[in-house]
Structures are given as C-alpha cells and as structure tokens.
Amino acid sequence: MERERWTSRMAFVMAAIGSAVGLGNVWRFPFVAYQNGGGAFLIPYLVALFTAGIPLMVLEYGLGKMMQAGAPTAFAKVKDKLEWVGWWAILVGFTIVIYYAVVMAWCWGYLYHSLFLSWKGRAEDFFYKDFLGLSDGPGKLGGLRLPVVVGLVLTWASIVWIVQHGVRRVGRVVMVTVPLPVILLAIFVLRGATLPGAMEGLKFYLTPDFSKLAEPRTWLAAYGQIFFSLSLAFGIMIAYASYLHERADVNNNAFITALANCGTSYFAGFAVFTVLGYMAHVVGKPVAEVVSGGPGLAFVTYPTAISLLPTVPAVFGFIFFLTLLSLGIDSAFSLVEAAVTAVHDRWPISRRKATWLLSGIAFLGGLLFTTKGGLYWLDIVDHFANNYGLVGVGLAESLIVGYVLGAERFREHVNTDSEVKLGRWWDFCIKFLTPAILGILMVWSLAREFGSPYSGYPGWALLVGGWGVILLQINLGVALMSRRAFLRASLPASASLVAFAVLLKFLPPMWIMFIVASAVLYGGLAWSLSRARRGYEGM
C-alpha cells in the first residue's frame, strides 16, 4: 500500500514547528533564560542549538525519511535488535502526552474562569485549592476533579478528531494552530510594551550576566532546554518525516523548524516579562520577587498580572488561555501521531482504530492526574521523563546513527537531496559531542537524585512514579519488539537491578562487598566452566 504523504512541504514544516512550539516556549524558556544569565544565556543556548539541537533534528528527519517508517520500524531497519529503542522513544512520548493533555485540561478550565476572572486577588489559592483541590501529598488521591475531567475529554476529543484522519488533516489544522498563538503572543507583547514597568521587566529578561557562563549548570540548562523544546527523542520527528517523499529536503527543513521554534521562545519572553514588569510596578515589588516558571507562571502569576490590567482584563485572560491551548494542541497530537504511526506501521490495524485505542488508553491513564493528588504525580512523572527518558533516548539515537549506521554514510545520504549541505562537523556532533553532553546531563541528574529526593517527595512515590515508570517503559519497549528478548534479557536485567538496589539500601557495606565479590569471582568461574567444551585433550 502507498504510504500517506503530506500535502505540501509547508504542511510538514508547520506540523514540525507546531510540535516543537508548545507550553515550554512560554513557561519554560523565559524563566530558564532569566535564571541563567539573562541576555548572556543566549550564548550557550545558541551553541546548544547548533551543536546538538539541529544535528539531532537532522538525524530524526533523515532517519524517518530514509526508512519511511515510524521510530520502532526505522530502528529495526538499522538493525533488528534495535527496534526496542524506537518503542522506548514512543513510550516516553506516550507517557508525556498522558499528562500534557491534563495540563491542557486545566487550560480549558481557565478559559472558562477567565471570563469571570474567578481567581481575582487570590490566584494561588484559587489554582491549588479551588480549582485542583490539591491534597496533602501523593498518597492522597482523593477522587477525580470533575471540571478537569471535562477539560480532559475536550482535549482528547480534539486530538482524536485530528489524528484519526492522518497527516493530511494534521497538515490543514497546523495552518491555524501554528500562526494563531504567535499572533496572540504578539498581542501580549504590544499590550505589555505599552504598560508602565515594562522596561524594568525586560531588563530582568535581557541584561546579560556573563559570569554565569562560567558555571557548568548554565550550559546544561541550555542543552536541556534545547532538547525538550525541539520535541526531540520521542519519535515525533521520525514519524513526521516518514511521510515525506524519499527525495525531500532534510537539512534545511531542520534549520527552519529549529530556528522558528527558538525564535518563538525568545519572542514569548517579551510577552512574559513586559507583563510581569507591569505587575511588579503595580504591586510595588521588585521584578525578581514576582517571576516564576512552569504551571506557577501560567496559572498563578500571569493570571494575577492579567487581572491588574487597566482595560478589559477578562478579554486578555481569555486570549492568554487560548494562546496556551493553541500552543499545546499541536504538541499533544504530534506525540499521539508518533505512537499511531509506530503501531500502524507494525501491525495490520487501521490508523483510525489505532488512534481511538491509544487515545482511550491515554485518557484513562490521565485520570490519575485529574485527582486531587494528581499534581504531585504529574510533577514526578514529568521530572523523570525529561531527565532520564528524553536524555536516554537521545543518547541511544546519536550512538546508533553515529556508530551502527555510520555518521558519514548517513550524512551523505541526507546531503543528497538537501538544499543546505552539512560538513564533517555534523559527524563530530553526533558521534562525540551530543552523546558526551547527554551523558553528562544524565550523570549530573543522577547525582542530584541520589543527593536528595526530588522536591522532597516520599521515596515510595519516586520509586513508583519515577524509577518504576522508567523500568516499565524500557521493558515494555523490549517486549513490544520480541517476547523472547524481554524474557531472556530485559526482565532478568531489570530484576537484578532492582535486587541490587534493594541490597544497597538494606545491607551493611561489608555484606555488599562480600556479595559483589563472590558473584563476580565464583559466578564468573561457574559461567566460564559451564561454557568450556568437554572431552578434548592435548590442546
């Protein structure tokens, strides 16, 4: 059967930009930039963009186009045994869309509340208490929040409506959902710039603090932000590129997508900081005391600032949440599309059925995050998916293409039909630089993880929502590739890892050394003896 195609190059590029441009551009980038040297952050950020972001995007586009398949099948075509890496990517992405859709559900709720500015004067209490009904901890789920469930239904209904009809419909929808948030952001930039205090806000965002460049964490923040922001390592760009024609451009499309995304982030910073500057001006506090990132910015700080606007605050509130929804929707359906493509490529199931099935599962899974304790779980899963899932898959991708497929061969392939030719620097990035940075990022996060539990959550919650989810994703990925590999390799490996962790936790150091030494020495001896061939003499 003929593979589906994008209706035009523009449709493909817009869809990829839509996936990359998401909530993170508004609530993550400006805050990360502010924390890491303001204007000076652009230096590590741009370096990260050109040495890791664009090279990895070329890799994903190239792989998808070359293999004409979603991530699992594409990796299987590189080497049979590598199919699980593709599934792993898909499963990490699938985990993300489960809670990403819940964040969008909050946006639906706030779209409604913004009409009445329901949070007036007490945005923080309104969000955590009235709206989420937040419980005391992850151990208390305490029932579903009906308004959030309604939002979740709306989100999934839109996703299914778009994805089930294939990339042709995706291509049409993104012609609206990509420009719309940019236009809406422009409204905020214009409104913000004309308010008193705006310049103060911008000073915080843009004044360079070059001393931060000497801190390794600034560089890691830049690389982390680039990977997350470009939607890499979830099999999305592989899936999208698999619907490109075999002779399509790769490199230039990667440049366009990446630059458009980062340009939007930079632009969003103006919308955020001018308005925060105004708010600081009105309440008479320094800007540093009102800034925040993440959900706190979107659902507490910015709404507060909006309700202080001199004219028609409700209209601006409505526009703001419409901006978030239109930012989020194309990121959300790109994650679903990656999974649908993977399933549809692998099994004889129609795209429609695959969409309904996967969306149904994700909706049910998402209900966990709509409970009163949901925010805690969302935070935990998000932390682990980004710090380990994303980084792990990115590492595997660059090593596989760099060494198994061969960076040089791959580069020649993508160069053939591309408008911009890549030089040897790309090989260097994929083979050495990107894996090295991702490796450091991973070790760094691990060190922090063991130093203190993430955000002070109880250990059991981190085990279930963090480590447990990671192990589950990898094992399920291997199981989807082959049951045999799961039973013979990944299950025993995970079981020993768990056993080892339990030992580490409960045994005194002397016993640990005793067990490790005995296992290596005597276990190793037993293993080599068992492999020795019997009955030949004199050799």
Task: Kindly list the residues in this chain that would bind ligand PHE in the complex (CB under 6 A).
Answer: 19-20, 22-25, 96, 228-229, 231, 234, 331, 334-335
- Which residue number, 229 or 242, has a Cβ lying nearer to ligand PHE? 229
Say if CB 85 and CB 394 are below 8 A apart.
Answer: no
CB 148 to ligand PHE: min, Å? 20
Q: Alpha-carbon Rg of the chain, whole angstroms?
A: 24
Residue 301 vs 490, nearer CB to ligand PHE: 301
For ligand PHE, give the closer residue by CB, 219 or 227: 227
At closest approach, how far in Å is the CB of 496 from ligand PHE?
31
CB of 521 to ligand PHE, least distance (A): 45
Here the contacts of 403-412 (C-beta below 8 Å, separation 24 or greater) are 403/431, 404/78, 404/79, 404/82, 405/78, 407/431, 410/59, 410/62, 410/66
Decide: residue 347, CB within 10 A, 0-12 exposed, 13-18 middle, 19+ buried.
exposed
Q: Name which of 30 and 147 has its Cβ closer to ligand PHE.
A: 30
Least spacing, CB of residue 317 vs ligand PHE, in Å? 21
As measured in angstroms, the least distance from the Cβ of 246 to ligand PHE is 26
Contacts of 218 (CB under 8 A, 6+ apart): 36, 37, 41, 44, 212
Of 92 and 375, nearer to ligand PHE (C-beta) is 92
Q: Which is nearer to ligand PHE, 229 or 490 (CB)?
A: 229
Of 366, 340, 2, residue with least CA distance to 163? 340
In the complex, least distance from residue 334 CB atom to ligand PHE, rounded to whole angstroms: 6
Q: How far is the CB of 19 from ligand PHE (least distance, A)?
A: 6
Do the Cβ atoms of 368 and 140 come closer than 8 Å? no
* Least Cβ distance, residue 386 to ligand PHE (angstroms): 8
- Identity of the residue, 334 or 398, whose beta carbon is nearer to ligand PHE in the bound complex: 334
- Smallest gap from Cβ 25 to ligand PHE, in A, equals 5
Cβ nearer to ligand PHE, comparing 63 with 461? 63
Supply the minimum distance, in Å, between the C-beta of residue 260 and ligand PHE.
Answer: 12
Burial class (CB in 10 A: 0-12, 13-18, 19+), 402: buried
CA distances from 102 to 109, 292, 332, 363, 374 (A): 11, 20, 10, 9, 9
Task: Return the number of the residue (294 or 468) whose C-beta is nearest ligand PHE.
Answer: 294
Rounded (5°) CA angle 265-271-273? 100
The residue behind tokens 């308010």 is 195
Burial of 228 (0-12, 13-18, 19+ CB in 10 A): buried
The residue among 19 and 398 lying less far from ligand PHE, judged by its C-beta, is: 19
At residue 396's C-alpha, the angle toward residues 390 and 402, to 5°, is 130
- Of all helices (H) and strands (E), which one includes residue 478? helix 469-481
Instruction: Name the minimum Å distance from CB 347 to ligand PHE.
Output: 24
Which of 428, 382, 426, 473 is CA-nearest to residue 57? 426
Minimum CB separation from ligand PHE for residue 225, in Å? 9
What value, to the nearest 5°, has the Cα angle with vertex 318 and ends 315 and 322?
135
Cβ contact 355:164 at 8 Å: yes
User: Which CB sits closer to ligand PHE, 20 or 342?
Assistant: 20
CB of 191 to ligand PHE, least distance (A): 23
Measured CA distances, 10 to 5, 242, 253, 332 (Å): 12, 15, 10, 20
The DSSP secondary structure of 253-273, one letter per residue, reads: HHHHHHHHHHHHHHHHHHHHH
Looking at the Cβ atoms of 25 and 370, the one nearer to ligand PHE is 25
How many other C-beta atoms can be found within 10 angstroms of the C-beta atom of residue 34?
23
By beta-carbon proximity to ligand PHE, the closer residue of 101 and 305 is 101
DSSP state of 533: P
Select from 323, 369, 335, 353 the least CA-distant residue to 465.
Answer: 369
Q: How far is the CA of 510 from the CAs of 321, 388, 450, 499, 519, in angstroms?
A: 57, 31, 21, 17, 14
